């Protein structure tokens, strides 16, 4: 079986079509419609750009592997037993997870238990042990397609959505957004997104929080968290060292405590700067120019 034209559009809508190489949340170089080196050439590298047509050409070369895997998973006579929309939705699931051959919902589907299959499909919504809103939305869309034939396309954010709240919180943590965390994708939120994208030359400054921007935000927020943890540890270490100096000092406890504390902070700061220099650049340096 082959994915239909509507199925290709469905996958592209949920994966996003990115014409400049970026690193996903896991740090894997990606381009086009979710294309990575694991799928074969072209190998995404920093600075690589492609056209939208090329992105779909690459997708057309990537899909046969998932089509074959899905047909095997659905079992003998899949083309006769299952409608095109079922196959399209199942390929979308495998393209996203790579788990069609071990997902329990497929076995339930083969057994004719649609209710169980649907509930089991909705278990695939976690990443890193946590439920991810984007995966919940995708599984719901795939369920509507597989069990109801509704291709629907990708849903745009509602006037107030959890996804937008998450973007706003990340942008606020990085100093790009100062408005209310209200989930409304208004002008202020879009301006913050554009400002963030302009500070990263590998992003397109279009105000759209697509796969590349989401991955970049996740990395920068994680770097900011590590910064806070390291500074906290440094302050705690300085306080401990200062206290020890006070206890050991003879006549000059305050001066010794301050000197030791400053020495600890300088040393830890130097190590941190070397270790996280790339994250610091992304988080604090605004790059000027015309990024695309």
Mean pLDDT of 191-200: 92
Dihedral pair phi/psi, residue 212, rounded to 5°: -65, -45
Q: Per residue in 214-253, pLDDT tens? A: 899 999 999 988 887 776 665 565 555 555 544 444 444 4
Mean pLDDT of 146-153: 88
* pLDDT reported for residue 153: 53
Instruction: Tell me which residue of 58, 9, 36 sits closest to 215, measured CA to CA.
Output: 36
Q: Identify the top-confidence range among 42-56, 199-213, 236-250, 274-288.
A: 42-56
Mean pLDDT of 101-129: 94
pLDDT at 24 exceeding the cut of 60: yes
Report the relative pairing of strands 18-23 and 29-32 from DSSP bridges: antiparallel
Confidence of residue 137 (pLDDT cuts 50, 70, 90): very high
Mean pLDDT of 73-97: 94
Mean pLDDT of 28-36: 92
Confidence of residue 207 (pLDDT cuts 50, 70, 90): confident
For residue 21, give both structure tokens: 């190489």
Tell me the C-alpha to C-alpha distance, in Å, between residue 279 and each of 3, 172, 213, 222, 263.
40, 17, 15, 9, 24
Mean pLDDT of 38-60: 93
Mean pLDDT of 105-126: 96
For residue 275, what are the contacts with CB-CB under 8 A and spacing of at least 6?
none
pLDDT at 161 exceeding the cut of 70: yes
For residue 49, give both structure tokens: 């750009």
To which residue do tokens 């806070």 refer? 228
Q: Which helix (H) or strand (E) holds 150?
A: none
- Name the β-bridge partners of 124: none
Kindly give the interhelix angle for 253-275 and 211-248, rounded to the nearest 10 degrees: 160
Q: Where are the domains of the chain?
A: 5-148, 162-284
Q: Which of 57-66, 154-163, 267-276 has the lowest mean pLDDT?
A: 267-276
* pLDDT reported for residue 240: 54
CATH class of the domain at 5-148: mainly alpha
Phi-psi category of 93—alpha, beta or left, where left has phi over 0 and alpha has psi -120 to 50?
Answer: alpha
Mean pLDDT of 155-159: 48
For residue 292, give both structure tokens: 């695309």
pTM for the predicted model, two decimal places: 0.60
């Amino acid at each position: 079986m082959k994915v239909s034209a509507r199925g290709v559009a469905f996958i592209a809508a949920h994966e996003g079509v990115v014409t400049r190489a970026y690193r996903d949340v896991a740090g894997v170089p990606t381009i086009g419609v979710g294309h990575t080196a694991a799928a074969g050439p072209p190998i995404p590298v920093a600075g690589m750009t492609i056209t939208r047509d090329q992105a779909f050409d690459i997708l057309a070369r990537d899909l046969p592997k998932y089509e074959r895997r899905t047909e095997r998973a659905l079992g003998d006579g899949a083309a006769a037993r299952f409608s095109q929309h079922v196959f399209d939705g199942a390929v979308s699931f495998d393209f996203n997870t790579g788990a069609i051959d071990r997902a329990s919902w497929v076995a339930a589907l083969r057994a004719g238990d649609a209710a169980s299959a649907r509930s089991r499909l909705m278990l695939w919504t976690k990443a890193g042990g946590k439920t991810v809103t984007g995966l919940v939305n995708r599984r719901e869309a795939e369920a509507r397609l597989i069990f109801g034939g509704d291709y629907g396309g990708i849903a745009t954010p509602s006037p107030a959505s959890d996804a937008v709240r998450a973007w706003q919180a990340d942008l606020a943590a990085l100093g790009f957004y100062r408005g209310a965390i209200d989930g409304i994708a208004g002008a202020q939120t879009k301006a913050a997104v554009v400002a963030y994208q302009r500070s990263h030359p590998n992003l397109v400054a279009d105000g759209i929080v697509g796969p590349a921007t989401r991955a970049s935000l996740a990395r920068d927020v994680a770097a900011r968290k590590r910064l806070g943890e390291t500074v906290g540890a440094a302050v705690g270490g300085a306080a401990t060292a200062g206290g020890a100096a006070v206890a050991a000092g003879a006549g000059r406890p305050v001066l010794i405590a301050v000197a030791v504390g400053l020495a600890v902070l300088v040393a830890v700061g130097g190590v941190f700067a070397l270790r996280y220099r790339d994250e610091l650049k992304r988080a604090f340096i605004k790059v000027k120019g015309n990024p695309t």
